[in-house]
Amino acid sequence: MEIEKKFLVKDISRLDLSNYNKIEIVQDYLYIDKLTIVRKRKCIKNNKTTYTYTIKTDKKNLSVNEIEKEITEEEYNSLPTNPNYNSLSKTRYIIPYIEDLKIELDVFHGIYDGIIFAEIEFDSEEQANSIPVPEWFDKELSHTITNSDMAMRKIEIEEF
């Protein structure tokens, strides 16, 4: 079970991103409907590349069931990219937060160049509703725009 909140971030000029672990991510969506999301992801961290296959189902409030499996490069390449969906490319910075939580700061490239999201994963919905968010977070997007929405259509900056 994944429980997270997502926020738009408009200004990261106060952050020294060189202090944080960085991951380059490319994710392609293979299938999307109201109940299920299937994606493949390529991550490069410290010159090491990993590949994952993920299925997300049963989204409720802030939680979603997530099954994620590491796969080989060959398996990744054999999964066809769906031409109906946008590929998402981003740099993710892992920023330590309170109570052993981490902020995943995603700086998008390509068609969403300049868009920045911050996500925090929680242990429970109670924790998600009780932990304050940093003042540099802007609009909450947890119930409005998902990465799969961004893959399905070009979302204009005004929608954020």
Among 135, 118, 6, 15, residue whose Cα is nearest residue 61: 6
Can you give the residue range of the structural domain that contains 32?
2-159
Phi and psi based region of residue 135 (left: phi greater than 0; alpha: psi -120 to 50; beta: remaining): alpha
pTM equals 0.90
Q: What is the pLDDT of residues 41-67, one digit of tens each?
A: 999 999 999 999 999 997 777 778 899
CATH code where residue 29 lies = 2.40.320.10
Does the pLDDT of residue 157 top 70, yes or no? no
Q: What is the mean pLDDT of residues 6-16?
A: 94
Our CA angle for 10, 11, 16, nearest 5°, is 140
